Structure 1
Amino acid sequence: MSEHLFNGFEPVSSKQWKQQIQFELKGADYNETLVWESPEGIKVKPFYHNDEFTPTAPTGTKAANFSICQNIFVFDIEKSISRANDTLKRGAESLRFTIENDKTDVEKLLNGIPLKETTVYINLSFLSIDFVKRIDVFAKQKGTTIYIQLDPIGNLAKEGNWFGGMQKDIDTLNTIAIACSNINFLSVDGSLYQNAGANIVQQIAYTVAHANEYFNSIATINKPIVLQVAVGTNYFFEIAKLRTLRKLFRLIANEYNHTEGCHIIATPSKRNKTLYDYNVNMLRTTTECMSAILGGANAITNLPYDALYHKDNEFGDRIARNQLLVLKHESYFDKVDNPADGAYYIEELTQQMAEKALAIFKDIEANGGFLHQLKDGTIQRKIQESATKEQELFDSGKEVLLGTNKYPNKNDRMSGELELYPFVKKDPRKTLITPIIEKRLAEQIEQERLNGEDKNGC
């Protein structure tokens, strides 16, 4: 019966749909009324039809196998080991340790966790050949996969300085590439561009151009490069962003005979998170994690709802982790590998993003490359232009953050809750370039509200 269910219905072409829509509009212009343009210049139609769709190659991602990752800042080794094992028991599947001191007993740290069942990422805030070699020896002895997140160019972009100087940092990476064959040692922090206000196409182009500088500078890259990505709230656009990023990375990497691909770690954006009505942050991070999964991220580290103003705490971490557990095991996001493949809207977004991001990438390369444009301030200026446009939309109420610039709770008080400073920190120092500064949309309005609390003695 089901085979003949729709036999009585004639197929409807996209042309017929448009004619019917035009009729319903009663003379209003179709393009002006229903086709809208994103900040990236992407035109979004009211519907997509298979007679206008050109099939593309499958993405080949393993969305069903995405890993729930827990961030752990390492200060006290014993406490870090205890926290790591506790989070693994509570549902985490991989761990990302942030280490700021090359005196850290990394072997003791790694020996304290079940490595056979756990993927480990180690984010280093310094550049040390000897420290990385120690991890490489450990990985060989244990036969385990470890991703080291080293990104000197990312440090330059964010802090304004290299770790030890351009040539020294590049030489160090080349030495590590030759001496350390048992670990993945290279990372690109694309989350910086999103959190600073770059639009989606810029984020893709800058991340790929950033990676291209490593291809140009490092003689041997025979492991996947880790791409760290921040995911915003534009649901379908963010799905397409990750797909496009993987597609363009593959295109560029093939030019260098790099066949290992990229490994994407996604985390929700900080840019749209708020201090007031902070529980709404959970809704934002849920949709952002969904976009990351459907876009094909390898690992996802959720952002706790109170991360802006609270230090790391068990409750915030547990809620963030449970959001991913619900998505994976109760919403069945672990059942399909390439769920976005063949979706006309997402495929069209992916294609438009790829074309526009590739054009920006080519322009960067034609004008001296990513590092050159960082040094002359072009990248910073372009990001600031996009950030300013988005800030104007927020300030005018056209871009809405519920509980902040729309339906705020005037009785909400936060001045007594701040364990962390939630705004841009001013740290005057000598830098080689102007750093790219991360800034949230709600900062100014939140500062005004906090000042009002202080004046009222609340």
Structure 2
Amino acid sequence: MSDFLFKEFDEVSLKQWKQKIQFDLKGLDYNDTLIWNTTEGIDVKPVYHKDELTKTIPNLKTTKGWNVTQHIFVVNEKRSNKNAVDVIERGAEAIIFELTQSKIDFSALLKGIDTSNTTIYFKLQFIDTDVIKSINQLASPTSKIYLQIDPIGNVAKGGKWFENSTVDLEKLTSCIESHGNLKSVLAINSDLYHNAGASIVRQLAYTLAHLNEYFNYLEQHSRASLKNLCVTINTAIGNNYFFELAKLRALRFLFDQLSGAYDIDISCHIISTPGKRNKTLYDYNVNMLRTTTECMSAVLGGADAVSNLPYDTLYHKNNEFGDRIARNQLLILKSESYFDKVENPADGAYFIESISQQLAEKALDVFKKIESAGGFLQQLQEGVIQRKIRESATKQQELFDTEKEVLIGTNTYPNKEDRMKNDLELHPFVKNKPRKTVIEPIIERRLAEKIEQERLANEQ
């Protein structure tokens, strides 16, 4: 029936489409009127056609099988365990436990949790080989437990290694070699680059260069560590719906290209969270609209796990209501909007195929320049990465300040009666804490901070 239906229509070439568009423009210039350039340096056209699609990014991950994920910051094992058991009963399929200290009773933390059915991520802000042993003792071959250790990400964000580069990388190698039943040990926290203001192209390039530092080190010091290796990549998703979707497709492609260059068969596990860059203190309910579309981009882009950002995360401490709303947004996408039923809804969309390919090509070009200049760590030490991110962030800030980048309720249609001063449980702005570092840290900053500070100061 469908073959018959399509045979009833003549194929229309790209040339015919352009002729029709030019006719309807009634003399206006096609390029000046309908083509716009993004901050990524990509021209967005009014029509995309298979005639001009010479390359496509192969299908590396279906949209089926993504997990509704809950983030839990661990202070007390018993309270965190109670919280985890509760949210699993309420629909969470994976838990991210973020840990700042190694003295944790992991058996108490995982009590009553079936790690064969619920995926567990331990995001560690330290390196401790004894922790690996403790968790390994609790893991079985069927357990879905991932450790996330990223010493390079730590030095990029905080300006310091956990101890020093030699010790950190040696410990990481030891952890990888003794990972046992753990699915993964190595992580790349690329969400830092988004939240600091890097363009999508540079987010991809920095993630690739970041990863390449580990590959280089492991190849030189322990080739065995590259066998059966899985890398988790924490990504942040912005509000450019189709480009963010394409970003994840391009990321998998680039990951596959890099691992292929090392002639190793390793897997990539992507965890996506809405970015903080465009989130606002005032008119905070709009954050729910922003995070919904960002989660949609993550799912359709092929993330393995999606952890939503609560609408009040900027100014409230962790609370049951905010977490429940964030989790329910994902459950609605999965259970009521059926975002886990279609294999790859983006396949065959010439626009998405085109921007995925262009993002990958541009990112690969930046990556090669980083490598030719000494690599990611060298560029971090010289401050080049930080400077490039600041340049990108400044351009975004200028667009926001001139209302070309719109955040409803903040720089456009603000509610002048909105008051927030008495609701602040957390400090929602960049904290300037002078401290001794080995490199200049990459600083996360939101677009709305200056406006919000002015409004808070003027509240009666």
Q: TM-score, normalised by structure 2?
A: 0.96
Counterpart position of 2:434: 428
Counterpart position of 1:28: 28
| 8 Å Cα contact 2:380/2:439 also seen in 1 | yes
Q: Secondary structure of the residue that 2:269 maps to in structure 1?
A: strand
Matched, 1:261 2:260: no
Counterpart position of 2:162: 163
Matched, 1:201 2:201: yes
Whole-Å Cα distance in 1 between the matches of residues 442 and 377 of structure 2?
13
C-alpha change, 1:7 and 1:243, in structure 2 (3 Å) is closer
Shift of 1:145: 2.2
Counterpart position of 2:137: 137
Structure 1, unaligned runs of 5 or more? none
| 8 Å Cα contact 2:53/2:350 also seen in 1 | yes
Shift of 1:64: 1.6
Amino acid at match of 1:438: E
Matched, 1:152 2:151: yes
Amino acid at match of 1:181: G
Q: CA RMSD in A?
A: 1.3
Q: Secondary structure of the residue that 2:234 maps to in structure 1?
A: strand
Amino acid at match of 2:429: F
Structure 2, unaligned runs of 5 or more? none
Shift of 1:7: 4.9
| 8 Å Cα contact 1:120/1:145 also seen in 2 | yes
| 8 Å Cα contact 1:65/1:337 also seen in 2 | no
Shift of 1:114: 2.0
| 8 Å Cα contact 1:305/1:316 also seen in 2 | yes
Shift of 1:51: 2.1
Matched, 1:322 2:321: no
Counterpart position of 2:296: 290
Shift of 1:337: 2.1
Q: Secondary structure of the residue that 2:339 maps to in structure 1?
A: coil
Counterpart position of 2:174: 175
Q: Secondary structure of the residue that 1:236 maps to in structure 2?
A: helix
Q: TM-score, normalised by structure 1?
A: 0.96
What is the identity percentage for the equivalent residue pairs of Structure 1 and Structure 2?
Answer: 58
Shift of 1:5: 4.4
Map 1:360-371 to 2 at 5 A: 360-371=366-377
Whole-Å Cα distance in 1 between the matches of residues 3 and 446 of structure 2?
53
| 8 Å Cα contact 1:122/1:148 also seen in 2 | yes
Q: Secondary structure of the residue that 1:63 maps to in structure 2?
A: coil
Q: Secondary structure of the residue that 1:187 maps to in structure 2?
A: strand
Counterpart position of 2:402: 396
Q: Secondary structure of the residue that 2:116 maps to in structure 1?
A: helix
Q: Secondary structure of the residue that 1:201 maps to in structure 2?
A: helix
Counterpart position of 2:10: 10
| 8 Å Cα contact 2:247/2:359 also seen in 1 | yes
| 8 Å Cα contact 2:57/2:356 also seen in 1 | no
Aligned length: 453
| 8 Å Cα contact 2:69/2:305 also seen in 1 | yes
Whole-Å Cα distance in 2 between the matches of residues 53 and 324 of structure 1?
33
Map 1:321-360 to 2 at 5 A: 321-360=327-366
Whole-Å Cα distance in 2 between the matches of residues 151 and 407 of structure 1?
41
| 8 Å Cα contact 2:58/2:253 also seen in 1 | no
Q: Secondary structure of the residue that 2:132 maps to in structure 1?
A: helix
Map 1:5-154 to 2 at 5 A: 5=5, 7=7, 9-54=9-54, 56=56, 58-140=58-140, 143-154=142-153
Whole-Å Cα distance in 2 between the matches of residues 166 and 55 of structure 1?
40
Q: Secondary structure of the residue that 2:60 maps to in structure 1?
A: coil
C-alpha change, 1:57 and 1:153, in structure 2 (3 Å) is closer
Q: 1:381 aligns with which of 364, 382, 387?
A: 387
| 8 Å Cα contact 2:55/2:357 also seen in 1 | no
Whole-Å Cα distance in 2 between the matches of residues 367 and 239 of structure 1?
30
Q: Secondary structure of the residue that 2:139 maps to in structure 1?
A: helix
Whole-Å Cα distance in 2 between the matches of residues 376 and 349 of structure 1?
31
Whole-Å Cα distance in 2 between the matches of residues 60 and 362 of structure 1?
23
Amino acid at match of 1:21: I
Q: Secondary structure of the residue that 2:422 maps to in structure 1?
A: coil
